[in-house]
Amino acid sequence: MHWTLQPTKSAALAVVCAGAAMLLAPWVKPMPALLPAVGALCGVIVGAIQARSLRSAPDAFRAAKSAMDVRRTMSATPPGKWAIRSHWVTATS
């Protein structure tokens, strides 16, 4: 299983990213708390969609050995497609 699918490592990565966002928030103008809050909300929504994708094809995700395998598997499920699209839309806005 690819490391990005392991819950403890994903949680650690989320904590590190949240910490980095909180450290950088004071330098964001005009509302320092708005961007991390919106990012956290979008992350929760996309994470819920990704969880549906994981539940729809658990064997394929367990067999994934690389990040590209994970992406292929995500793209093969309807919730996975929505998760990828939602991630890109929220990341670019």
| Rounded average pLDDT over 13-28 | 80
**Cα angle value 46/49/53 (rounded, 5°):** 130
Query: Is 49:74 a contact under the CB 8 Å cutoff?
Result: no
Domain with 54 in it: 3-92
Q: How many angstroms separate the CA atoms of 40 and 35, rounded?
A: 9
pLDDT at residue 3 is higher than 80:
no
Give the total number of structural domains in the chain: 1
Mean pLDDT, the chain, rounded, equals 82
| Per-residue pLDDT reduced to its tens digit, 46-83 | 888 888 998 999 999 889 888 898 889 999 999 999 88
Look up the pTM and report it.
Answer: 0.63
pLDDT at residue 25 is higher than 80:
no
Q: How far from 44 is each of 9, 27, 32, 33, 86, CA to CA, in Å?
A: 17, 24, 20, 17, 11
Q: What is the pLDDT of residue 65?
A: 87
